[in-house]
Amino acid sequence: MKNLPRFLSVSLLSLGLIASARAAVETYSIDPVHSSVQFSLRHIISKFTGSFTKPAGTITVDRDNLENSSVVATIDVASLNTNNADREKHLWTDQFFDLAKYTTMTFKSKAWKKTGADTFDVTGDLTIKDVTKEVVLKTTLLGFGPGMRGMQLSAWEATTVIKKSDFGLAGPAMLSKALGDDVTITIAIESGFKPAAAAGAETKK
């Protein structure tokens, strides 16, 4: 019985540490190998699709209140893939993305609004070339789970629609008529976070 107070103190301290760990904000790094940014728009009467294969950035997650989360992401313009090398070269010219001057696109969230059990409206600033516009990403949390080597994973999907003319991407008049102005963007993200305990254990090996 003499050790009971000490036992209770240690137990309460342990519970406090566990609660603090659960409440801690976690910063996940976007994995470009398992993430993608796809887009589609009208081409005359059909749909034209393409993708950017190198998204990067961080998602700062408050597991206790996901509305306090934030994301900062970049997309490498040179990672554009439309399954046609000549078309990509054209899109990289100053008529469209102007890759020589603008190598990345960025998105920085400003607010997360919960709209369902696992869905959010993520409002933020999208910058393409020298134009910044506010957009809303319709976002779904697919879940959290363990990854390899002590990594913790989070997975997300998001969609939005922008007007390419808003960002100086309309192109020459002839092409602008053939291509729709509305661009549907579909984002799939896998991101990883390594807890300090796992990182420390790996360092000792």
Residue at 18 is within a domain: no
Q: Which two tokens stand for residue 40?
A: 């589609």
CATH code, domain carrying 83: 2.40.128.110
Residue at 11 is within a domain: no
pLDDT beyond 50 at 70: yes
What is the DSSP code string of 87-111?
HHHHHTSTTTT-TTT--EEEEEEEE
Q: Where are the alpha helices (DSSP H) in 81-168?
A: 85-91
Q: How many domains, the chain? A: 1
Cβ-based neighbours of 20, under 8 Å, separated by 6 or more? none
At residue 166, the pLDDT reads 97
Q: C-alpha angle with apex 93: 87 to 97, nearest 5 degrees?
A: 90
Highest averaged pLDDT of the listed ranges 11-25, 129-143, 165-179, 184-198: 129-143
Residue at 142 is within a domain: yes
pTM of the model: 0.82
Residue at 3 is within a domain: no
Residue 137 belongs to domain spanning? 25-204
Name the pairing type of β-strands 70-76 and 119-128. Answer: unpaired
Q: Are 198 and 153 in contact (CB under 8 A)?
A: no
Residue at 138 is within a domain: yes
Q: Which residue has the tokens 């940014």?
A: 37
At residue 148, the pLDDT reads 87
Rounded to whole angstroms, the Cα distance separating 145 from 152 reads: 6
Residue at 72 is within a domain: yes
Each residue of 87-110: pLDDT tens digit? 999 999 999 999 999 999 999 999
Q: Which long-range contacts (CB under 8 A, 24 or more apart) does 128-131 make?
A: 128/97, 128/102, 128/167, 128/168, 128/169, 129/97, 129/98, 129/101, 129/102, 129/167, 129/168, 129/169, 130/102, 130/168, 131/166, 131/167, 131/168
Residue at 10 is within a domain: no
Rounded to whole angstroms, the Cα distance separating 17 from 7 reads: 15
- Burial tier of 145 (Cβ tally within 10 Å: 0-12, 13-18, 19+): exposed
Of 39, 75, 77, give the one whose Cα is nearest residue 56: 75
At residue 8, the pLDDT reads 38
Q: Which two tokens stand for residue 72?
A: 């900062």
Residue at 119 is within a domain: yes
Confidence of residue 149 (pLDDT cuts 50, 70, 90): confident
Longest dimension (CA), the chain: 88
Rounded to whole angstroms, the Cα distance separating 6 from 98 reads: 67
